[in-house]
Chains A and B, each alone.
Chain A
Amino acid sequence: MATSMPDPQQLYNALTTAVLKCSERCLYQAAKWSAFLLYSPSSPLLPSQTELTYLSSRAAEALTSMPPMPVLATTLPQAYLHPISTTPSEAALEAAELPNFLLAKSYFDVREYDRSSAALANCRSVKSRFLHLYARYIAGEKRRDEESEMILGPLDSAATANRELQGISTSLQEIISTKNREGEVDGEEWGEEDGWLLYLYGVVLLKQKNTEEARGALVKSLCLYPYNWSAWLELGSTLGNLSDLNSILSHLPNNIMTNLFLLHANQELYQTSESVHSQLTDLLRIFPTSAFLHTTRALLHYHARDFEEAEAIFDSLIKADPHRLDCLDHYSNILYVMERRPKLGFLAQLATGTDKFRPETCCVVGNYYSLKSEHEKAVMYFRRALTLDRAFLSAWTLMGHEYVEMKNTHAAIEAYRRAVDVNRKDYRAWYGLGLSYEVLEMHYYALFYFQRAASLRPYDPQMWQAMGSCFDRMNRPSEAIKAYKRALISPSPASSSSLPPSSSSTVAGASTSFDPSILLQIGYMHEKLHATKEAARWMEMALREEDEGGVTQATSKARMWLARWEFGNRNWGKAAEYANELCQDGQELEEAKALVRDLRSRMDVGK
């Protein structure tokens, strides 16, 4: 999707207003995101000096006709004071309810949510209604968190729900249906303000697990007002796979925000193809210093297992903004995989210095302890992260990993489950669930989880390999072969780490080598099916891989198998040849030697 450069002036205005509108409605994260996008010293969006003076003079002009105001306000755009609704009737209502709204907003800002909601109980403007219901929602969430008590405790389950949801959804349904009815009568269009209500409706529906409807509501909300990043994030969380994304593509508004969202969605769906990268490059031209875009690029590299690149980007991000904690948990994952213990320690110190009680910080520290094999401590930190934010995905998954290390399979399963409950797109958690269930010898369960992981990363041979071995254990070799074949055609991690594993079906120009261990497994499976000839064929293929990858354990095993097979077929010569090669390589030495001795005696007898 090509990104055309929008009119900078317009975009600038839209984003400023978005920041104000979001923060007015207490959507703090969205406001922060938009503000960060807006802010960049060399951004082409910033109005030039001449424009600025023009703007301030216009503002001053506007103010001369009004009662005197503080001098400072003259340099600010009018919108800063109070972004007014575009529909006159709404604007009038908002003006009338301004004291209530301001009161409610200040209650909300000091976290008195119930009070905030109550202050707006009888207000009729859409903005007030939104804050009324949103405060109620947040109050319910807060209460739910309190009632859930300990992380993974007896009360911490889906059964402890936000009890306000039902009431909110009923009120919203009422508002929406009246709106629809009015729309039929006097043809009144949905206004921009209604977008906020629809956003909230989507959030509530999502909490009630009505994904389809939630998606509809969110898309509609975004068509009405596209600059609400929170809504985009929620929309992203409704997408389970690529086809979901595809199905909404045509309904999205034509806006720069859509491009940003698509980038984000592709990143979340582990799409690391060239087209995504070029899309990102396009967007970087508009927002050259956006940390969000740079982080996305780093994550794309991370998904493609290009850790060095990802690390470099994160390094520069930290240098530019050392107090930014967002996404540092991903960075710590990268450092963990790269086993950069000192650097991870540095990062942990840095994050702790900024804010000890941010889930990101806790994850970084947890990762550090994990790397030091202090798993109990690591779990403690992940738990702390979750106490701070129960929807913090990384912490759930990482905690699952820790429990696996501690051989506490059941706790691991629980943690992974919560992770996929928060985000269905976390393939690591699905994979971890599969592995844990394999430990418990519950293969059908394991299979399903591997299947989910594989559907998220169809080009990742590891997922398919896991599925293959699962089928093997379930004694279904023919399915196992199918799964292994899938793994085979996916580019193996060793050979393609530098290339983005773009597509797997038409691997034009990709490497031609196969992973011999998979070939070996396929051979074994054929043996199980009593198709020994076929098995031998695969074994030979595995041997051929030595041209590329040299002798490995897998190829030796294949050779051993072939030696025995030839032995069984009384091809003494061939068998001896394989066995001697084995002795030469120094793998499977004892067995090979025994075989050689046996062969010699037989060949002697034959003579």
Chain B
Amino acid sequence: MPPLSASLQVPSAADDTITTRKRGTSSARVPSNPKMEEFLKSWRQDALNKHQYDAAIFIGDKLMALTGTPLHSAPRFTEACLPNPGDPKDAFWLAQVHFSTGHYNRAQSFLTRNDLVSRSTSCRYLAALCLIKQSKYEEALNVLGDKNPTHLVSSSSSSTIGGSRRRAAGVPPRASKDREEQGSNVKFEAAMCYLRGLVYAKQNAFDKAKECYKLAVLIDVKCFEAFDQLMKNSLMSPDEEWSFLESLDFEGLSTDGEEPGQQSEFVKMLYTTRLSKYKNPIYFNKATEILTDTYNLSQNADLILSRAELLFTQCRFKECLGLCEKVIEDDKYNFSVYPLYLACLHEINMRNKLFLISHDMADNYPEEPVTWLAVGVYYLTTGKIAEARRFFSKASMMDPHFGPAWIGFAHTFAAEGEHDQAISAYSTAARLFQGTHLPQLFLGMQHLQLNNITLADEYLNNAFSLCKSDPLLLNELGVVFYHKEHLKEAVQLFTKALEIADEIESDPKAWVATRANLGHAYRRLEMFDKALEAYAEVTRSSEGRDSGVYTAVGLTQLQLGRPWDAIVSLHEALAISPQDPIATEFLEKALIENASSETLFQSAVRTQDGEIVIQDDEDVDFALRERMLRSKLKSKAASGGPRYGVDGGEGSSRGGRRPTAGTVGERRRLGDVTSNYQEVGGENMELSDEDL
């Protein structure tokens, strides 16, 4: 038989509560048949565990009849004639079975009809859950009561924290039965707190929702659902997260008598792995290490996932992809890993794999928003923006709180340069993900592209207040400073960004743009050497070659007064993108400067003895004079002869040869010489096309 699933565990705890209560109250009441009850109860439980719901309903119905007022003979008025509402425990269980089959309305009507809601917290919880499933949020809130949650905090904290304090003070502990009951009550209070948060979130009241979730975890550390909601939707900033983690009461987890350390430590570490990865990577690493070593969780999907997340924030996509694939190998449809996996595939541009995955998902899980996210990512990667947008929007329609879909949706607008629409989509994402800086960052980037420097500054600073250590954010802030002509600050930010990127050992390839920006800032500050250094680094590490860098190098060299080098660099730029207007303009400037530069007439030549000398104008003049002198002497010596070309025979023959020699020089006449060509001999071998 399979082990009980997690969802069954909480109610089974409730089972105990109700049992104890029942025994406390009913022993004086109707005489019962405990043996029969036991038999039916175990049957029902067995059927439930086997997901044989019809059997469970059938038996549960009979059991309820046995232990209390039969349902079919319990019309409305019986509600009034208390105290005979039937056994709440069995009613609860019947409702539970109905819930499992998806008959929320029916389950809920059970609970309300027997007025269990007001009597037991577990029933109230289930009723609220049913309402939420039916999207009746207002009613759910009515059931849960939107009363001030602080009341719950105080009561619960006194019960847990106070409990330990009492023990420390030597006060004798209460009866274990009472404590058990109260403990489980508290658990349900926490769960209800969580549900309240869920309702608020559905109603888009994220601040309230966040408070409720936090409270739920504060009341009961084991309320993982609430913690998961907090983390998954990044409702808190990294700093907030860490202080929240510190405020949680892990001590209460320890069972009585035993040393409190182990379990609490374990849970704390598990939770730590879920926190935002921007802060405290060392602490995170320690937690993972211990979990891996001591608790043999190295192959656990959640741990692998959190490690992958860490790698992703460090832009080490390939390694991250490896981890994701490891998870997927074990559990192919582990949906929580997919957003990260898809992002990795997009970054590495593995469109073929994306194609396969999205098809596979669409075949098997057409009801999952992640499936359509995958399809959207595929289209985004292949550059089909319109299709990508359609599927992102489909995903976000299926689950309006599915952040990745919203971000992808916004990205499609950004990719098309539709800044206004992108901004509104990012704003939605920003509302959904208050704790993460990414939407704010993207908003800032959009405004930057629209040249709204002030607005961009505002958004980026917002993002900065959430996360101070994202190199990308620092880069964008640097750009803002650059545009505001605060070059020194810009340099600082770029340097900082690169430092952090280096610190988190991220792939240097991802920060090529930042380095180029650093170069630009240095160039504007007229620190040309540093600029050139930065550019050199860029050309070394960038994957595809970018003409902009070479243009910038050319400009720098031009400013340094090295037009020759500048021309070479600008040629490089134009070789990559031949129509680049900026490079062309600078090239012309450099060429003009070069034409009047001194180096024009300096050439390195090798002398007879193999030495290399630079010839300049004076050398040339000197050589010229020397030769002239010699030729004069010679002509004087030969002055007896005829002064000029009487011996036309020789002269013309030489003159006639000269043009040939001239064409020989360039290997090939650029005019037409072929016409002078005379066929020599009759047996010229002609090549025909067939020969070749």
Evaluate contact between A341 and B684: CB separation under 8 angstroms. Answer: yes
Does B572 sit within 8 A of A, measured CB to CB?
A: yes
**What does the 1/0 interface line of B644-666 toward A look like (CB < 8 Å)?**
11011011101101100110111
Q: Chain B 586-622, CB within 8 Å of chain A: the 1/0 string?
A: 0010011011000011011111101011010101110
Complex CA gap A550/B644 in Å reads: 7
B618–chain A nearest beta-carbon distance, Å:
11
A485 on the interface (CB 8 Å rule)? yes
Complex alpha-carbon distance, A213 and B537, angstroms: 12
- Given A342-B680, A349-B691, A550-B654, the answer on whether A507 and B623 have CB atoms closer than 8 Å is yes
CA distance A459 to B605 in the complex (A): 8
Tell me how far the C-beta of A474 lies from the nearest C-beta in chain B, rounded to whole angstroms: 7
Q: A158-B576, A417-B575, A512-B631 are in contact. Are A479 and B600 (CB under 8 A)?
A: yes
Interface residues of A in 329-381 (CB under 8 A from B): 333, 336-337, 339, 341-342, 345-346, 348-349, 352, 356, 365, 368, 371-373, 377, 381
Q: Mark A227-253, 1 if CB is under 8 A from B, else 0.
A: 000000000000001110010000000
Is A513's beta carbon under 8 Å from chain B?
yes
Which residues of A sit under 8 angstroms from B655, Cβ to Cβ?
Answer: 549-553
Check if A551 sits within 8 Å of B604, measured CB to CB: no
Q: Which residues of A contact B604 (CB under 8 A)?
A: 241-243, 455, 458
Among B577, B627, B679, B687, which residue has its beta carbon within 8 angstroms of that of A345? B687
Cβ of A7 within 8 Å of any chain B Cβ, yes or no, is no
Q: CB-CB < 8 A to B607: which residues of A?
A: 503, 505-506
* Cβ-neighbour of A512 out of B541, B592, B613, B634 (below 8 A): B634
B263 interfacial by beta-carbon distance below 8 Å: no
- B614 closest partner in A (C-beta): A243
A192 is an interface residue with CB less than 8 A from chain B: no
In the complex, which of the residues A368, A479, A488 contacts B687, with contact meaning CB atoms closer than 8 Å? A368
A585 at the interface (CB under 8 A from B): yes
A549 CA / B658 CA spacing, docked (Å): 10
A166 vs B654: C-alpha distance in the bound complex, in angstroms?
A: 59
Q: A592: shortest Cβ distance to chain B, in Å? A: 15
Interface: A541 (CB within 8 A): yes
**Which chain A residue has the least Cβ–Cβ distance from B578?**
A157
Is B539 in contact with A494, judged by CB distance below 8 angstroms?
A: no
By a CB distance below 8 angstroms, the chain A residues around B634 are 512
Residues on the B chain within 8 Å of A505, using CB:
605, 607, 613, 615, 619, 623
Query: When the two chains form their complex, are residues B605 and A551 in contact, meaning their CB atoms are under 8 A apart?
Result: no
Q: Of B545, B601, B635, which one neighbours A161 at CB under 8 angstroms?
A: B545
Q: Which of B81-129 contact A (CB under 8 A)?
A: none
Assess the B595–A444 pair: CB atoms within 8 A. Answer: yes
Min CB distance, B689 to chain A, in Å? 8
State whether A489 touches B620 (Cβ < 8 A): yes
Residue from the list A209, A372, A448 in contact with B567, Cβ < 8 A: A448
Contact yes or no, A166 B543, CB < 8 A: yes
Asked if B667 contacts A337 (CB within 8 A), the reply is yes
Question: Do B627 and A514 have beta carbons less than 8 Å apart?
Answer: yes
What's the Cα separation between A497 and B658 when bound, in Å? 11
- Bound complex: CA of A488 vs CA of B631, how far in Å? 13
**A431 within 8 Å of B (CB atoms):** yes
Q: Which of B536, B606, B667, B670 contacts A333, CB < 8 Å? A: B667
Q: Are A166 and B541 in contact (CB under 8 A)?
A: yes
Q: Give chain A nearest CB distance to B641 CB in angstroms.
A: 8
Complex Cα–Cα for A307 and B635 (A): 32
Query: When chains A and B are docked, how far (Å) is the Cα of A454 from the Cα of B605?
Result: 11
Least Cβ distance of A166 to chain B in Å? 4
Contact A458 B615 (CB under 8 A): yes
A564 within 8 A of B: no
Q: Complex Cα distance A549/B635, Å?
A: 13
Partner of B601, one of A205, A271, A448, A483: A483
Knowing A342-B684, A349-B687, A550-B655 are in contact, say whether A209-B539 is a contact too (CB < 8 A).
yes
> Contacting A159 at CB < 8 Å: which of B545, B595, B683?
B545
Residue interface bits A504-520, CB-to-B below 8 A is 1, else 0: 11111000111000000
Contacts of A275 in B (CB 8 A): 610
* B588–A550 touching, CB < 8 Å: no
User: Contact between B686 and A345 (Cβ–Cβ < 8 Å)?
Assistant: yes
Give, as a whole number of angstroms, the nearest-CB distance from A214 to chain B.
11
A residues within 8 A CB of B627?
489, 507, 512, 514
A84 to chain B, nearest CB (A): 35
Chain A hits for B661, CB < 8 A = 493-494, 497
B28 is an interface residue with CB less than 8 A from chain A: no
A551 engages B648 (CB within 8 Å) = yes
Minimum distance in angstroms from B502 CB to a CB of chain A: 14
Q: Is B638 interfacial (CB-CB < 8 Å)?
A: yes
Contact residues of A: prevailing secondary structure: helix
A439 to B152, CA, bound (A): 89
B582 close to A (CB within 8 Å): no
Determine the chain B residues whose CB is within 8 A of the CB of A158 once the complex forms. 545, 572, 575-576
- Cβ contacts under 8 Å, B575 to chain A: 157-158, 417, 421
Interface residues on B, range: 35 or more
B545 proximity list for chain A (CB < 8 A): 158-159, 161, 208
Cβ of A161 and Cβ of B692 under 8 Å apart? no
Contact assessment for B631 and A271 in the assembled complex, using a CB-CB cutoff below 8 Å: no
Contacts of B576 in A (CB 8 A): 157-159
Q: Are B665 and A210 in contact (CB under 8 A)?
A: no
> Across the two chains, which residue of chain A brings its CB closest to B542?
A166
Query: Which residue in chain A gives the minimum CB-CB distance to B592?
Result: A444
Asked if B681 is at the interface of the complex by the 8 Å CB criterion, the answer is yes
Which residue of B541, B544, B627, B686 has the most chain A CB atoms within 10 A of its CB atom? B627
Residue numbers in A under 8 Å from B685 (CB-CB): 342, 345-346, 349
Least CB distance from B536 to A in Å reads: 7
A336–B664 Cα distance when bound, in Å, is 10
- Please tell me if the beta carbons of B644 and A546 are within 8 angstroms of each other in the complex: yes
Chain A residues with CB below 8 A from B654, complex form: 494, 549-550
A455 surroundings in chain B (CB, below 8 A): 603-604
Chain B residues closer than 8 Å to A448, beta-carbon distance: 567, 591, 594-595
Closest to A367 in B: B668
Measured between beta carbons, the chain B residues less than 8 angstroms from A346 are: 685
A166 and B509 contacting across the interface, CB-CB below 8 Å: yes
Interface positions of A from 531 to 589, Cβ below 8 Å from B: 541, 543-544, 546-547, 549-553, 555, 581, 585
In the bound assembly, the distance between CA atoms of A305 and B657 in angstroms comes to 15
Q: Which residues of A contact B673 (CB under 8 A)?
A: 339
**Is B77 on the interface with A (CB-CB < 8 A)?**
no
A503 lies within 8 A of B605 (CB) = yes
Distance to closest chain B CB from A587 (angstroms): 10
Inter-subunit contact B605/A550 (CB<8 Å): no
Quick check: A462 and B621 within 8 Å, CB to CB?
no
Q: How far is the CB of B360 from chain A (nearest CB, A)?
A: 25
Pairwise interchain contact A348-B692, C-beta atoms closer than 8 A:
yes
- A243 to chain B: which residues have CB within 8 Å? 604, 612
Interface residues of A in 93-133 (CB under 8 A from B): none
Which of B539, B567, B605 contacts A210 (CB under 8 A)?
A: B539
- Name, among A365, A541, A547, the residue most crowded by chain B CB atoms within 10 Å (CB to CB): A547
Decide yes or no whether B628 CB sits under 8 A from chain A.
Answer: yes
Known contacts A275-B610, A341-B684, A550-B648, then 19 further A-B pairs from the complex at CB < 8 Å, ordered by chain A residue: A157-B576, A157-B578, A161-B544, A274-B608, A307-B664, A349-B691, A352-B692, A365-B687, A373-B672, A454-B603, A494-B657, A503-B605, A504-B605, A506-B608, A512-B627, A512-B630, A514-B631, A551-B645, A552-B651
The 9 closest A-B pairs by CB, nearest first: A550-B651, A458-B603, A444-B591, A551-B645, A546-B644, A512-B631, A158-B575, A166-B543, A494-B661
Which chain B residues have a beta carbon within 8 Å of chain A's beta carbons? Answer: 509, 536, 539-545, 547, 567, 572, 575-578, 588, 591-592, 594-595, 600-601, 603-608, 610, 612-613, 615, 617, 619-621, 623-624, 627-628, 630-631, 634-635, 638, 641, 643-645, 647-648, 650-652, 654-655, 657-658, 661-662, 664-668, 670, 672-674, 677, 679-681, 683-687, 689, 691-692
Pick 11 A–B contacts, CB within 8 A, sort by A. Answer: A242-B612, A342-B685, A447-B595, A455-B603, A482-B620, A489-B627, A504-B615, A507-B623, A512-B631, A544-B631, A549-B658
